[in-house]
Amino acid sequence: MSEATHGIPAGIRRHHWMNQVLTHAAMRPDATAFKHRGEVTTWADAARRMDILAAALERRGVRFGDRVLMLTLNHPLVIESVFAINRLGAIAVPMNIRLSPAELAYIIDDADGDIVMVDQPLAPLVTAAGQLTTRVKQVIVFGEPGEGQEGIADLLAEPIGSFEAPDVPEDSTCLIMYTSGTTGKPKGAMLDHVNMAAQSLTVLRVNSIFDESDVSFLTAPLFHIAGLGSIGANFIVGIPTVLHPLGAFNAEEIIDAWEREGATIVFNVPQQWQAICAVPGIRDRDLRLRVISWGAAPASDTLLRTMSETFPDALNVAVFGQTEMSPITCALRGEDAIHHLGSVGRPVPTVQCRIVDADLRDVAPGEVGEIVYRGPNLMKGYWRKPAETAAAFEGGWFHSGDLVRQDEDGFVWVVDRLKDMIISGGENVYCAEVENALFAHPAIVEAAVYGRADERWGEVPVAAVVMRPGETLEVAELQEWLGDRLARFKQPKDVVLVEALPRNAAGKVNKVALRGADRVTVGAP
């Protein structure tokens, strides 16, 4: 623990989001921090619940550096729980609600945490995962608890007592965000308070946030870095965050909410923007949109022009990055979105980057190379994976796996991915992970997974498989078999039967040839 300075505890001077909440609670306690389903949470409310929950978690054994797993939807108590976990110097570990019980059990074991906080509709998933691991000791439910579980209301009803928060240095890990790996096993990116502060500065700059007049509207899930990473700036400036409930995307409901809440800063993935721009009468709505932001998947030239025509007075901002970078590394703003169609923008000032060849030598402008990073928003490493961390940081730079080219003006275009990954509806699908699941199918001899363009999702996974003699396979049959093994968004949407997988001279599967062939197709795409 750090020593006090001139009688002021060091923890008071820290730059992290727990202190940002306390600052707004002290200076303007009745101002709105969050809105959800019409209910207002003030900064004083958020600060009070943060400390009550921190004290309750401490009584349940949570200590500095411990991991607390979270399987949640979008509502203020989720954010307040992250604050409470971090208030103790502990680490919040959000889990994707779309994962299967087996995938959740792997993360629970890998994170090595005793407590899971879960929204009541998702509690059966935790129960199912709990049958595959002995690690879970306590389950805290946002809502009505089941047998052997606790309700969050019980924790909030407890007196705060003599709780005193420890000093939490800025280089303390605050989040472990799991991202699938090319080896097929998820890796936990360790993000600290320095990372989140740097990310917040990036968001302030790219969205031109200067004062409390903005209203931020969140549709991204809080279990993605796109959620927590995008709202950290709100805690610095103190602007309200409207949390839209997770569920099936409905463009008209989103527009109604923007109008009702006076939203000024919004983010959606490209397929959502496509649906929004197609809503009849959208240009006649009384909207205050100042920033329309997008990312997580490529957007077509047609869509970008449509967005600019639909919202001519809004700043169009594209963001690019990855979980390990907290996540934004490049941004494309305003007129650049039209004049540099297809680019992901320029690197943001909080990031150092280079475009390099395989020997880490800079390539000339216009040539293709891997973009590598340094900077204060770069993760500390992968949780309990020293070999993977060392490989990712080889040569002293973080290797993104993205092949790009950069023009003379600094604009970056993504050409391909070194990592074998598909982006489907904003979700990362790593082919090796899907292939590992397919290899266990008793009728499959060999399998290779690749991406196919899809109008709705951007890309979808497709499986090319070699079957055992006399065997066949329908896509619906495969999806049913994968039901308990892989999340639905990772499951192949088509099966291509081949006699043999095409391979290059080194014996590796040639996925370029597979994408161009799509031979005997079985099942609907």
Q: What is the DSSP string of 403-469?
A: EEEE-TTS-EEEEEESS-EEEETTEEEEHHHHHHHHTTSTTEEEEEEEEEEETTTEEEEEEEEEEPT
Contact 493, 471 (CB under 8 A): no
CA distance 12 to 165: 10
The predicted structure's pLDDT at residue 180? 65
Contact 420, 229 (CB under 8 A): no
**Contacts of residue 67, Cβ cutoff 8 Å, sequence gap at least 6:** 90, 91, 93, 111, 112, 113, 176
Q: How far is CA 456 from CA 453, 460, 525, in A?
A: 9, 9, 12
Q: Angle of helix 17-27 relative to helix 225-237, nearest 10 degrees?
A: 40
**Segments of 13-171 assigned E as strands:** 32-36, 39-42, 67-71, 91-94, 115-119, 138-142, 150-151
**Contacts of residue 435, Cβ cutoff 8 Å, sequence gap at least 6:** 184, 447, 448, 449
CA distance 104 to 189: 16
Burial class of residue 413 (count of CB atoms within 10 Å of its CB; 0-12, 13-18, 19+): middle
Per-residue pLDDT of the chain (525 residues; tens, 9 = 90+): 445 556 666 667 898 999 999 999 999 999 999 999 999 999 999 999 999 999 999 999 999 999 999 999 999 999 999 999 999 999 999 999 989 999 999 999 999 999 999 999 999 999 999 999 999 999 999 999 999 999 999 999 999 999 999 999 999 999 999 986 545 678 999 999 999 999 999 999 999 998 889 999 999 999 999 999 999 999 999 999 999 998 888 999 999 999 999 999 999 988 789 889 999 999 999 999 999 998 876 676 778 888 989 999 999 999 999 999 999 999 998 777 777 877 889 999 999 999 999 899 999 999 988 999 999 999 999 999 999 999 999 999 999 988 888 999 999 988 766 677 788 888 878 786 788 788 889 899 888 899 998 888 888 999 999 998 999 999 999 999 998 889 999 999 999 998 888 875 445 677 778 876 654 333 332
The predicted structure's pLDDT at residue 10? 62
Contact 77, 70 (CB under 8 A): no
Helix, strand, coil fractions of the chain, as percent rounded to 5: 35, 25, 40
Delimit the CATH 3.40.50.980 region(s) of the chain: 41-168
Phi, psi for residue 135 in degrees, rounded to 5 = -75, -35
CA distance 58 to 159: 13
The predicted structure's pLDDT at residue 523? 33
Residue 5 is given by DSSP the state: B
Least Cα distance to 143 among 125, 158, 123 occurs for 123
CA distance 291 to 205: 12
One-letter amino acid of 501: L
Read off the pTM.
Answer: 0.84
Triad 404, 410, 412: Cα angle to 5°: 25
Residue 206 is given by DSSP the state: H
User: 316-320: long-range contacts at Cβ-Cβ below 8 A with a sequence spacing of 24 or more?
Assistant: 316/292, 317/206, 317/207, 317/291, 317/292, 317/293, 318/293, 318/294, 318/344, 318/345, 319/206, 319/293, 319/294, 319/295, 319/345, 320/295, 320/344, 320/345, 320/412, 320/414
354 by DSSP, 3-state: which? strand
Triad 317, 321, 322: Cα angle to 5°: 140
Delimit the CATH 3.30.300.30 region(s) of the chain: 423-522
Delimit the CATH 3.40.50.12780 region(s) of the chain: 193-417
CA distance 225 to 229: 5
Least Cα distance to 434 among 385, 497, 478 occurs for 478
The predicted structure's pLDDT at residue 259? 97
Phi, psi for residue 487 in degrees, rounded to 5 = -60, 150
Contact 474, 496 (CB under 8 A): no
**Topology of the domain comprising 423-522:** GMP Synthetase; Chain A, domain 3 (3.30.300)
CA distance 78 to 55: 16
Triad 354, 358, 362: Cα angle to 5°: 35
Q: How far is CA 353 from CA 63, 192, 295, 331, 501, in A?
A: 36, 20, 19, 13, 37
Class of the CATH-defined domain 41-168? alpha beta
Least Cα distance to 18 among 180, 261, 307, 232 occurs for 232
Q: Match 């979008």 to its residue by tokens.
A: 74
Contact 80, 241 (CB under 8 A): no
Phi, psi for residue 86 in degrees, rounded to 5 = -65, -30
- Which CATH number describes the domain made up of 193-417? 3.40.50.12780
